[in-house]
Structure 1
Amino acid sequence: MRTRLGVIGLGAMGTRVLTVAANHIDFEVRRASDLSAAAIDRLAPAHPGILFSTNGMELAEAADLDAVYIATPPASHERFTLAALSSGKAVFCEKPLAVDLAEGRRMRDAAERGGLATAVNFALSDQGSVTEVERALSAGEVGSVRGVDIRLHFPRWPRAFQADARWLDEREQGGFVREVLSHFVYLTDRVLGPLRPVHASLDHAPGASEVAARGLLRAGEVPVHVSGRAGAAGGELYEWVLWGTRRSYLLRDWSELFVSEGEDWRPVELADSSGSQAKRLSLFAAAIRGERGPGLADFAAALRVQEVIEAFHQP
Structure 2
Amino acid sequence: MAVKTALIGLGIMGRRMLEHMVRHNGYEPIALWDPDPEACAQAVRLAPDAAIATSAEAAMDAADLIYLSCPPAPRKAYALTAAAAGKALFLEKPLGVDVAESEDLVDRLASFGVPVAVNFTQAAGSALTDVSKAARSGVLGDVLGADIVVTYGAWPRAWQKAADWLRFRDEGGMTREVISHFLFFSERILGPLTVVWARPSFPDDPALCETHMLARLETSDGRPVTIMASVGGAQPDRQELTIKGSRASRRITDFYVDAVSDGGAFTEIRERPEDPRATSLKAQLDDLRLCLDGKTNRLATAKEALRVQKLVEAMLAGKP
- TM-score tier by shorter-chain length is over 0.9
Name the counterpart of 1:291.
295
- What's the counterpart of residue 263 of structure 1? 264
Aligned to 1:232: 233
CA distance in 1, matches of 2:91, 2:117: 6
Q: Residues of 2 paired with 1:3 and 1:154: CA distance? A: 38
Name the aligned partner's letter for residue 227 of structure 1.
M
Aligned residues of 1:35 and 1:54 also touching (Cα < 8 A): no
Q: TM-score with structure 2 length normalisation?
A: 0.93
Deviations 1:150-206 (A, max 9, x none): 000010111111111110000000000000001000000111111111111211123
Q: CA deviation at 1:270?
A: 6.5
1:219 and 1:173 map into 2 onto residues whose CA distance is: 27
Question: Do residues 167 (structure 1) and 168 (structure 2) align?
Answer: no
State whether structure 2 residue 306 is matched by structure 1 residue 303: yes
- Determine if the alignment matches structure 1 residue 14 to structure 2 residue 20: no
Alpha-carbon deviation of 1:24?
1.6
For 1:107 and 1:278, the matched residues in 2 are separated by 27
Greater displacement, 49-58 / 76-85: 49-58
Note the C-alpha offset of 1:46: 4.7
> 1:23 Cα shift?
2.6
Q: Which whole-Å CA distance do the structure 2 matches of 1:108 and 1:80 have between them?
A: 13
Is it true that 1:42 corresponds to 2:63 in the alignment? no
Q: CA deviation at 1:54?
A: 5.1
Determine the C-alpha separation between the residues in 2 that align with 1:102 and 1:288.
27
Tell me what 1:219 maps to.
219
Which SS does the other structure have where 1:10 is aligned? coil
Matches within 5 A, 1:1-315: 1-53=1-53, 55-60=55-60, 62=61, 64-207=62-205, 208-220=208-220, 221-269=222-270, 275-293=279-297, 295-314=298-317
**5+ long unaligned stretches in structure 2:** none
| In structure 1, C-alpha distance between the alignment counterparts of 2:187 and 2:213, rounded to whole Å | 19
Aligned mates of 1:69, 1:143 — CA distance in 2? 39
Aligned length: 312
Aligned AA (1:226): I
Amino acid of the residue matched to residue 108 of structure 1? V
What's the offset of the Cα at 1:117? 0.9
TM-score, reference length from structure 1 = 0.94
Closer/same/farther in 2, CA of residues 217 and 156 from structure 1, 3 Å limit? same
Q: Is the 8 A contact 1:143 1:245 kept in 2?
A: yes
* 277-286 or 31-40, which deviates more: 277-286
Structure-2 change in CA distance of 1:314 and 1:89 (3 Å): same
Shift of 1:255: 1.3
Q: State the Cα RMSD in Å.
A: 1.7
Shift of 1:271: 9.7
Residues 153 and 236, structure 1, Cα contact 8 Å, conserved in 2: yes
Looking at structure 1, the residues matched to 46 and 300 of structure 2 have their Cα atoms a distance apart, in angstroms, of 31
Q: Distance in 2 between matches of 1:212 and 1:236?
A: 14
* Secondary structure at 2:247 match in 1: coil
- Contact 1:122-1:183 at 8 Å conserved across structures: yes
1:152/1:271 CA distance change after superposition, 3 Å? closer
Instruction: Identify the range of structure 1 (172-181 vs 196-205) with the bigger mean alpha-carbon deviation.
Output: 196-205
User: In 2, are the aligned partners of 1:91 and 1:118 still within 8 Å (CA)?
Assistant: yes
Give the deviation of 1:245 after TM superposition: 1.2
Q: Give secondary structure in 2 for the equivalent of 1:312.
A: helix
Q: Distance in 2 between matches of 1:236 and 1:141?
A: 30
Distance change (3 Å), C-alpha of 1:296 and 1:13: same
Tell me the CA shift for residue 25 of structure 1.
0.8
Describe the superposition over 1:30-78 as per-residue Cα deviations: whole angstroms up to 9, x where unpaired: 1000001121123324533211035223323x1x311100000111110
- Taking only the aligned residue pairs, the percentage that are identical comes to 32
**Alpha-carbon distance in 2 for matches of 1:141, 1:49:** 49
Which runs of 5 or more structure 1 residues have no equivalent in the other structure?
Answer: none
CA distance in 1, matches of 2:311, 2:146: 15
SS in 1 for 2:114: coil
Give how far 1:111 is off: 2.3
Structure 1 residues 138, 272: CA separation in 2 closer, same or farther (over 3 Å shift)? farther
